[in-house]
Amino acid sequence: MWNELRELYRYRELLWTLVLRELRVRYKNSYLGFFWSLIVPLVTVAVLTIVFKRVMGMVIPNYSAYVLAAFLPWMYFQTALLDSSQSVLAQIQLVKKVYFPREVLPLAAVLANLIHFVLALLVFFVYLLGYVGAPLLPSVVLLPVLVFFQTLLIAGLSLIISCLNVFYEDTKYIVSIGLQLMFYLVPVIYFSEQVYHAQLASPEWQRWIYLVYHLNPIAMLMTAYRKILLPPITVQQIGAVQKQTFASLPMDWGLLAVACGVSVLIFVLGYAFFNKRKWDFAEQP
């Protein structure tokens, strides 16, 4: 593993060139260019806000800020995985001819999306301070930590997915379906507090459901993004039968540590898996 990482470091200039190429190519033929990376989340969040406030009856001040705080990391997760699933296969002709550490291909896709994510976060802060007028919390200093562990998680998954997709092209379809389902298993359109107070659950089960739900590292990371970026909030939902109120829960640091640990583990395992198979890529007919 260390040898592979050292070789990767030797090829860092190639990795960086690939990242720049991805960024350049993505919006090369569009007039609005990078703004598409902002328009997509902003339009999505606007629609979600209208639906959840007006139709579903969520009473939350600045709901859109809370959605955006989780939706941007979700976009990063989703687009990075989808982009990287094709990354090796798209360059298979090059892979068959030239020696270079194969992991630069999926990693470049991840890093290009990381840059988009960071730029989107800057816009988020402008929105937060300018439009919403919310004060910046001191816990914002933890943001780079979350981004770091999320990137490790994404990189680990990307290595597995891009490798499998060379041998089985079904992988990209499975990933795409998996992501669509996963969207409902992470707190973007709802709040983790609502999971805690899940309907049907007797009080002694609540804690367990909350725990199991957050063992999914991406779900925990997104709960964490919300909690470090925005002040705690009391969620009110006006349902057909009764009005429900969900008090804010404090950040569960233990669960966050588990999520970070799982992210590191997935990266290590993903890289080991990729390394085991990466010299078979060129043999694919």
Partner 1 sequence: MKDTAILLEHVSKSYRLSHQPYSSLKGILLSMFRYRRRIEVHQALNDVSLTIRHGETVGLIGVNGSGKSTLLAIIARVIRPNAGRIEVNGRVAPLLQLGVGFHPDLTGLENVYFNGIILGLTRQQIAERLPSIVRFAELEEFIDTPVRAYSSGMVLRLGFAVAVHTDPEIILMDEVLAVGDEAFQHKCLRKIQEFQHEGRTILLVSHDMNQVRQVATRTVWLHQGRVMADGAPEEVVTQYLAFTEEMERRAI
By CB under 8 A, name the binding residues for partner 1.
13-14, 17-18, 21, 24-25, 28-29, 93-100, 167-170, 279, 282-285
10 Å Cβ neighbour count for 85?
A: 27
Name the minimum Å distance from CB 58 to partner 1.
Answer: 40
> How, if at all, do strands 235-238 and 243-246 pair?
antiparallel
10 Å Cβ neighbour count for 116?
A: 22
Pick the closer one to partner 1 by CB: 165 or 237. Answer: 165
Pick the closer one to partner 1 by CB: 178 or 261. Answer: 178
Name the minimum Å distance from CB 101 to partner 1.
Answer: 11
Going by C-alpha positions, the residue among 133, 107, 100 that lies closest to residue 18 is 107
Pick the closer one to partner 1 by CB: 174 or 251. Answer: 174
Pick the closer one to partner 1 by CB: 24 or 243. Answer: 24
Pick the closer one to partner 1 by CB: 90 or 179. Answer: 90
Pick the closer one to partner 1 by CB: 234 or 284. Answer: 284
Secondary structure of the chain in HEC code, one letter for each residue:
CHHHHHHHHHCHHHHHHHHHHHHHHHCCCCCCCCHHHHHHHHHHHHHHHHHHHHHCCEECCCHHHHHHHHHHHHHHHHHHHHHHHCHHHHCHHHHCCCCCCCCHHHHHHHHHHHHHHHHHHHHHHHHHHHHHCCCCCHHHHHHHHHHHHHHHHHHHHHHHHHHHHHHCCHHHHHHHHHHHHHHHHCCCCCCHHHHHCCCCCCHHHHHHHHHHHHHCHHHHHHHHHHHHHCCCCCEEEECCCCEEEECCCCCCHHHHHHHHHHHHHHHHHHHHHHHHHHHHHHHCC
Name the minimum Å distance from CB 16 to partner 1.
Answer: 9
Name the minimum Å distance from CB 100 to partner 1.
Answer: 6
Name the minimum Å distance from CB 76 to partner 1.
Answer: 24
Pick the closer one to partner 1 by CB: 94 or 185. Answer: 94
Name the minimum Å distance from CB 27 to partner 1.
Answer: 10
Tokens of 21: 């190429």
Going by C-alpha positions, the residue among 15, 269, 253 that lies closest to residue 152 is 269
Pick the closer one to partner 1 by CB: 53 or 277. Answer: 277
